[in-house]
Amino acid sequence: MCGIVGYIGDKQAAPILLEGLSKLEYRGYDSAGLAVRDGDKKVKVVKSKGRLSGLAEKTNDGKSLKGNCGIGHTRWATHGEPSETNAHPHVADDGTVTAVHNGIIENYQELKEKLQRHDYNFYSQTDTEVVVKLIDYYYKKYQVGPIDALAKTMVRVRGSYALVVMFADYPGEIYVARKDSPMIIGVKDKECFVASDVPAILNYTRDVIYIDNLEMARLSTDGAVFYNLDGDVVPKESSHIDWDAKAAEKGGFEHFMMKEIYEQPKAIEDTINSALNDGKIDLEAMGLKDDIIKDISDITIVACGSAYHVGVAAQYVFEDIARIPVRVELASEFRYRNPILNEKGMVIVISQSGETADTLAALREAKEMGIRTLAIVNVVGSSIAREADNVFYTLAGPEISVATTKGYTTQLVASYLIAIQFAKVRGKIDDKQYDYYLSELKTLPEKINKIIDDKDRIQWFSAKFANAKDVFFIGRGIDYAICLEGSLKLKEISYVHSEAYAAGELKHGTISLIEDGTLVIGVITQPELYEKTVSNMLEVKSRGAYLMGLTSYGHYETEDTANFTVYVPKIDEHFSACLAVIPLQLLGYYFSVARGNDVDKPRNLAKSVTVE
């Protein structure tokens, strides 16, 4: 949510800021703004409601904003409606402090009333303006430098924030502060960058420094210096980003989502290979030694959105092949219900960005209780990756489209690999079964390519039903988990109302929603549950539903029940989610295209949900 870019160096800042913000459009936003300083001159602020193109037009692609030091922001509205007034950057009354902010200030109303008593005026509805003027208040009251003013502000503020600040008295410097919102610092000779995410600065530097929670930094042409809340300097080492900058470009595809659907075979292959050593799964590299695995009593999987759906599918796999108790929790619920966890249990948190606010909070709660934590994340150096006891990195590369595709399937593969290793180490499968499961996983890339090659049939079907009012997904077991993700893909980018139901629950109320022509998608990849689900499909068909069946090659009798059938290659049923989800990703994509929607940036949604 929201995007931040900052630059100080020997180049014109505004074009760099605009380019960086364009790389962060996937995060979701409703307005944008720039603040640029030309030497000792006053900071010039330009804002625009709507797309970034409006800001580019106002500034002649940044050419009319002169200066080598600046900050930029794309805002996703939380406090206050989308408007030019509420857009960032925000400025203190006399221009002493200018800042952009990601996150939410929980006690902003209390702080605002305090500042009003000290004759501060407010022009916006945002919590950000409050924190900007609080910095200004401490800076002037105590006659301190920027770091001390920021430290006093951080102690007083409750909530989450990534703050990037310019002080009028320090024209050659940018200051940053962080708590619970993602932010990285890019370094290069005589240049410094700050951004919410790596793609914003990949074209300029691959050397980044991760600023930790409750830390501050001063950026200048001399480099970056980091501080703790006491104002003491904190030594830091830079990390090198290996991502190809072109991986964050469309590469000839009309939308990032389709490009990322096509990238799944490679991402899955890379993720599998990253966990293998001499052809065997090696979790010791991430700190999960065999004696630790043997001693774990149960697993709790905590995640949000599509990552939660990964957890639902993984629960079936862990319990069936590793015979270890698993429960799956929504992170937003887990953190507030005082969970009971076994001291010998393990909490697995799943997050593509590694910055999901609720998941990060759940991780911290588990750690406070002394429970071992394992993170499945895609972004190296993210908050969750740094704070978890053990980390399994998925090698999906940058995922730009808001609707996750390769992030989801690589998370599935990571969970499969962990489950297989748990099963082997705990003596629940023998060497033959172990080798069989690994060989099945290795067939995924080729089989996904085969599904994508047959996408024209799904495109035709999507165009036919793009005006559907309601769509229902039904399945059992792992197929139900697939339905959850398929339904989310459809609703989030096509805006068609869709729901996923465990097929056996239809008779308990849901079947009353079926009308003539209602599209129902039955997912049936689990051999032992095939006949049961087909019976449920017949129930809705007899009440007028139009049926799409999604099943594995060989189950051709599905065509006797369904009006339209999509086939995926056969694979061990434990891993079917990785294949069956591909046609549903394509379905959501083509529905959205047919309805004329912005596929990569659906309304009201953000890529990384870094606030509650």
Do residues 159 and 128 lie in contact, with contact meaning Cβ atoms separated by under 8 Å?
no
The residue among 303, 467, 483, 285 whose CA lies nearest residue 390 is 285
Dist CA 257 CA 97 (whole Å): 39
DSSP state of 166: E
Q: Phi and psi for 388 in degrees, rounded to 5?
A: -75, 155
SS3 163: strand
Is 607 assigned a catalytic role? Answer: yes
DSSP sequence for 296-315? ---EEEEE-HHHHHHHHHHH
Q: Look at the chain and count its residues.
A: 612
Enter the tokens of residue 215: 């830390």
Residues facing residue 105 across a β-bridge: 159
Radius of gyration of the chain (CA): 25
Instruction: Compute CA 281 distance to the chain's CA centroid, rounded to the nearest angstrom.
Output: 27
Helix (H) or strand (E) holding 583: helix 577-594
The residue among 553, 491, 237, 574 whose CA lies nearest residue 381 is 237
Instruction: Quickly tell me which residue has 């639902």 as its tokens.
Output: 312
DSSP sequence for 382-436? -HHHHHSSEEEE-------SSS-SHHHHHHHHHHHHHHHHHHHHTTSS-HHHHHH
603 Cβ contact list (under 8 Å, min separation 6): 495
Do the bridges between strand 159-167 and strand 174-179 make them parallel or antiparallel, or are there none, so unpaired?
A: antiparallel
Do residues 591 and 602 lie in contact, with contact meaning Cβ atoms separated by under 8 Å?
no
Q: Phi and psi for 233 in degrees, rounded to 5?
A: -70, 135
**Catalytic residue (choose from 2, 69, 192, 578):** 2
**Catalytic residue (choose from 133, 455, 489, 607):** 607
Q: How far is CA 380 from CA 173, 239, 342, 355, in A?
A: 28, 9, 29, 11
527: how many CB neighbours lie within 10 A of its CB?
Answer: 13
* Terminal Cα distance for the chain, rounded: 11
SS3 67: coil
Dist CA 455 CA 129 (whole Å): 49
Dist CA 608 CA 356 (whole Å): 6
173: how many CB neighbours lie within 10 A of its CB?
Answer: 19
Do residues 240 and 379 lie in contact, with contact meaning Cβ atoms separated by under 8 Å?
no
Is 2 assigned a catalytic role? Answer: yes
The residue among 40, 19, 70 whose CA lies nearest residue 249 is 19
Dist CA 193 CA 330 (whole Å): 35
Q: Which residues participate in catalysis according to the annotation?
A: 2, 607
